């Protein structure tokens, strides 16, 4: 069985959904499980629903209505007839969102987030599944929350592999399935999410449990490029990448492949293809067993909106193991992701991703023990397989706050 994953850009409107049909017809759809994300920017819109719930409940209804109307336009373009059963199914899903927000008593934002935001995927897959049936591609819609079981670490749940394997192994591998990315459920059957952009990881989890022959991620780019074309010019397609190299690129923040995606695939040597949904017959990029990348060129990765913190001891004493363990516990407690570390005898610099907005309370605690200098809104550039010209191209005209070099990788924090 093959696993396909289509992201939000590939189902952003009615024409995009029709193109998914074209892709499935062109490359085949038998024995295939298709993982689909929320449509377009729906996840962002659902996050606004959650934000309104905690800051201004009077605005919740309008926020939900905006998301609903966006999908109604797609429904109208795909199905036309408002009496089609898909309209009632989609309405029922939005009614569930409203119902949850009415009866919920939990003050925990991460819990509420997971119960609400995941409806983007549920609505998206309902529409795509119904449309595929409409055009003759018979399929089974699966609620992925019944397949992928997790703990209750909301917004970044961990997989219970044993329960997930047991559920997934019951699927009939001769069918075409449509299911959601990003989602799972805990022991109490509350919805959990696997982290933003977690649909790639969903595809890998399901492929691992199915012993799939391959995973294909369908993108609006020709494959994995040596740099994000939104941030760099003259990008180059990478034809082949080893698992190890791909994990390195993902770790440093390459946006094409989710960091967790590759680990389950590598364990069973399941090849990952990254291909264009615009030109589905093109080869794209294959990630698999092997060495390095081909062609071997510098690969540029940028993470924007980062935070650089420089710590030094108040009394000029060394920053040693006990200090560092205390610092990292604060990072963990405030859900700060560490992207770069550099330390000397009396100072410690770290570049962090503040995606859960834990920066200010963490800084308040750090200032009790250390001198703290904080630079917000910095960018972290990473170059794999760097050369002098590649490094100079990033240094040009930028203020470099931290530079760190290894044998194959250089990282620059710039303002």
pLDDT of residue 247: 87
Residue ending a domain, among 189, 212, 235, is 212
Residue 357 lies in a domain: yes
Examine the domain organization and report whether 188 and 78 are in the same domain.
Answer: yes
Residue 326 lies in a domain: yes
Residue 259 lies in a domain: no
This prediction's pTM: 0.85
pLDDT of residue 315: 82
Helix (H) / strand (E) element for 148: namely none
pLDDT of residue 254: 80
Task: Kindly report the number of other CB atoms within 10 A of residue 177's CB atom.
Answer: 23
Residue 218 lies in a domain: no
Q: How far apart are CA 248 and CA 257, in angstroms?
A: 11
Residue 292 lies in a domain: no
CA atoms within 13 A of residue 282's CA, in its CB half-sphere: 18
Q: Which domain holds residue 403?
A: 299-414
Examine the domain organization and report whether 311 and 182 are in the same domain.
Answer: no
Examine the domain organization and report whether 203 and 320 are in the same domain.
Answer: no
Examine the domain organization and report whether 96 and 207 are in the same domain.
Answer: yes
Examine the domain organization and report whether 304 and 189 are in the same domain.
Answer: no
Residue 294 lies in a domain: no
pLDDT of residue 223: 93
Examine the domain organization and report whether 316 and 201 are in the same domain.
Answer: no
Residue ending a domain, among 212, 238, 260, is 212
The Cα-based distances of 212 to 35, 143, 203, 204, 266 in angstroms read 14, 19, 10, 9, 12
Q: How far apart are CA 387 and CA 360, in angstroms?
A: 37
pLDDT of residue 229: 87
Residue ending a domain, among 212, 242, 259, is 212
| CATH number of the domain that residue 130 is part of | 3.40.1160.10
Residue 174 lies in a domain: yes
Residue 248 lies in a domain: no
| CATH number of the domain that residue 394 is part of | 3.30.2130.10
pLDDT of residue 314: 85
User: In tens digits, what is the pLDDT along the chain, a chain of 415 residues?
Assistant: 999 999 999 999 999 999 999 999 999 999 999 999 999 999 999 999 999 999 999 999 999 999 999 999 999 999 988 899 999 999 999 999 999 999 999 999 999 999 999 999 999 999 999 999 999 999 999 999 999 999 999 999 999 999 999 999 999 999 999 999 999 999 999 999 998 778 999 999 999 999 999 999 999 989 999 998 888 988 999 999 999 999 888 888 887 677 689 999 999 999 999 999 999 999 999 999 987 899 999 999 999 999 999 999 888 777 778 788 889 999 999 999 999 999 888 889 999 999 888 999 999 999 998 999 999 999 999 999 999 999 999 988 889 999 999 999 999 999 9
Examine the domain organization and report whether 186 and 320 are in the same domain.
Answer: no
DSSP 3-state of 256: coil
Q: How far apart are CA 357 and CA 362, in angstroms?
A: 10
Examine the domain organization and report whether 192 and 76 are in the same domain.
Answer: yes
Examine the domain organization and report whether 20 and 165 are in the same domain.
Answer: yes
Overall domain count for the chain: 2
């Amino acid at each position: 069985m093959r696993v396909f994953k289509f992201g939000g850009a590939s189902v952003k409107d009615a024409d995009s959904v029709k193109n998914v049909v074209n892709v499935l017809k062109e490359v085949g759809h038998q024995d295939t499980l298709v993982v689909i994300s929320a449509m377009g920017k729906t996840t962002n819109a659902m996050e606004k629903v959650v934000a309104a719930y905690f800051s201004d409940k009077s605005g919740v209804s309008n926020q939900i209505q905006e998301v609903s109307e966006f999908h109604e336009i797609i429904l109208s373009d795909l199905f036309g007839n408002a009496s089609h059963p898909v309209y009632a199914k989609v309405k029922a899903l939005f009614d569930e969102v409203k119902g949850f927000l009415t009866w919920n008593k939990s003050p925990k934002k991460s819990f509420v987030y997971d119960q609400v935001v995941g409806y983007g995927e549920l609505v998206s897959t309902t529409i795509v599944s119904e449309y595929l049936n409409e055009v003759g591609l018979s399929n089974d819609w699966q609620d992925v929350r019944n397949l992928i079981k997790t703990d209750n670490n909301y917004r970044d749940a961990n997989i219970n592999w044993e329960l997930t394997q047991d559920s997934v192994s019951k699927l009939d591998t001769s069918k075409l399935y449509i299911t959601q990315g990003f989602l799972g459920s805990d022991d109490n059957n509350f919805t959990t999410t696997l982290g933003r952009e977690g649909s790639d990881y969903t595809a890998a989890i399901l492929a691992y449990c199915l012993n799939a022959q391959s995973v294909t991620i369908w993108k609006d780019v020709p494959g994995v490029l040596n740099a994000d074309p939104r941030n760099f010019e003259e990008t180059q397609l990478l034809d082949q990448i080893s698992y190890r190299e791909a994990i390195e690129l993902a770790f440093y923040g390459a946006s094409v492949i989710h960091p967790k995606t590759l680990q389950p695939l590598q364990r069973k040597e399941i090849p990952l293809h990254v291909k264009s949904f615009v030109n589905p017959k093109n080869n794209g990029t294959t990630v698999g067993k092997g060495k390095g990348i081909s062609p071997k060129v510098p690969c540029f990765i940028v993470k924007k909106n980062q935070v650089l913190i420089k710590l030094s001891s108040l009394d000029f004493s060394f920053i040693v193991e006990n200090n560092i363990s205390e610092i990292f516990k604060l990072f963990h407690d405030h859900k700060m992701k560490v992207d770069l570390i550099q330390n000397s005898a009396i100072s410690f610099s770290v570049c962090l991703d503040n995606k859960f907005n834990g920066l200010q309370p963490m800084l308040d605690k750090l200032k009790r023990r250390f001198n703290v200098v904080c630079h917000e809104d910095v960018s972290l550039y990473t170059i794999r397989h760097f050369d002098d010209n590649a490094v100079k191209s990033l240094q040009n005209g930028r203020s470099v706050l931290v530079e760190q070099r290894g044998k194959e990788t250089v990282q620059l924090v710039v303002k």
